[in-house]
Amino acid sequence: MKEIVKQIVETENEVRGRVEQAHTEAQKIVRDAEAHSREIVEAGRQETVHESQELVARLRHEAEEERTRQIEAVKGGGTELLAGKKGEIEAAAAEVLGIITGAGE
C-alpha cells in the first residue's frame, strides 16, 4: 500500500511539474506573440507615416505647380486681354481725346 501511495504522490508531483512547465511555456508564447504583435503594429504605423509624408509632399508639389501655372496664365492673360481689347481701348481713347479737344475749343 505504501508503494502505491508513493507512486501516486510521485505521479502527482510529476504531473504538477509538467503543468507548471506548460504554464511557463504558455506565458512565454503569449509574451512572444504580444511582442510580435507590437512589432507588426509599429511597422504598419511607420509605413503609414511614410506613405502620408510622401502623399503630402506630392500634393504640395502638385499644388505649387498648379499655383505657378495659374500665375503664368494670369500673367499671359493680361497681355492677351489687352491685345484683344486694343481696338476698343484705342476707340475709347480717341473718344476721350475728342471730348477733351472739343471741350477746349
Name the average pLDDT for the chain. Answer: 86
Residue carrying C-alpha cell 477746349: 104
**pLDDT digits over 2-43, tens only?**
888 889 999 999 999 999 999 999 999 999 999 999 999 999
pLDDT computed for residue 77 by the predictor? 63
* Number of residues that this document lists for the chain: 105
pLDDT beyond 60 at 105:
no
> Measured between alpha carbons, how far is 51 from 45 in angstroms, rounded to an integer?
10
SS3 content of the chain, % helix, strand, coil (to 5): 95, 0, 5
pLDDT for position 1: 85
Predicted local confidence at residue 88, as pLDDT: 82
Confidence of residue 80 (pLDDT cuts 50, 70, 90): low
pTM: 0.50
Domain-wise residue ranges, the chain:
2-103
What are the φ and ψ backbone dihedral angles of 43, each rounded to 5 degrees? -65, -40
What is the Cα–Cα distance from 18 to 24, expressed in whole angstroms? Answer: 10
CB contact set of 82 (below 8 Å; sequence gap of 6+):
89
